[in-house]
Amino acid sequence: MTAVSRTFMRLNRDRRELGVSWIEVQELDLKQIKAEARFRSRNWISKLGVSAVFCIDFCLAGAQVVQGANGYQFRAKYVKHRSASYVVQSNADILGSKMIMTMHLSEKVLAVTGRVGTIEIRTGKTDITINGKPFGNSTAVDNKMGTFKLDELGTSTDGSGASLQTHIELPPQVVKIGSSWTTKGVAMLPGQAQEQQVSVTYRFVGFDQLSGVRVVKLAVKMSGSGVAGASGSGYAWIRADDCSLVKESETLTITAQQMKIPATIQVIRK
């Protein structure tokens, strides 16, 4: 069996699992149409006819946001040795003092087993300032490394229960534009020294473009409890081809010791 035959067999299997007809799936762009034309001599694909050259996105491009009859399926795609870098910046106004923390993160896929990726996260330089002046021992969190295992939904499979700031936990079910799903995990809130239990609800807004990349836009609502309470909202953008995070921006209100602390947090892929 040729590689081409295996590709289309996998495609047809995924199409059936999603309940997608050939006429319902997304039309190929020009590059994909040219590639498809090379294969149309195959008997089974030629039955689609000249006017029905259609295919699911990931047939040739590897997209992991797939349209089905009842909505879209989100699945993370891990590729060995693929890496990404992020800047995480949080701002908090504490009793009139402005605290800013900027942390650099890098991640690399060390291995892929089935649909599980082994992800290495490293911290780079971290800066903490209050009213523009350096504060505390920010170098204490520099050059730290951790390894995590995440499945195709972006959830931990290694028993750590880790919820990584650079990964969105995806819905197991097919979702329509306007639909929501909720995840639970831990997060470090601006101005707090300990991680908090958080509940995050994502709403599928639709598709967008960022720097020429096709992305999925998600509305985010968060609430947290622990040493401090928190609530907030914002947006996140993930790549349509592998569901990796491109950008996230949220505005929060943190409640601690009867104080309400306004804060913001941004995660930006470099």
DSSP characters for 95-135?
A: TTEEEEEEEEEEEEEEEEETTEEEEEEEEEEEEEEETTEE-
pLDDT (0 to 100) of residue 22: 41
Segments making up each domain of the chain, as ranges = 3-62, 83-269
pLDDT (0 to 100) of residue 194: 57
pLDDT (0 to 100) of residue 68: 81
Rg for the chain (alpha carbons), in Å?
21
pTM: 0.72
CB atoms within 10 A of CB 208: 14
Candidates 269, 219, 220, 221; CA nearest to 242 is 269
**β pairing state of 116-130 and 229-239:** unpaired
pLDDT in tens, 208-247: 999 899 999 999 999 987 767 889 999 999 999 999 999 9
Low pLDDT (below 50) residues in the chain: 1-8, 14-15, 17-63
pLDDT (0 to 100) of residue 94: 87
pLDDT (0 to 100) of residue 64: 79
pLDDT (0 to 100) of residue 158: 79
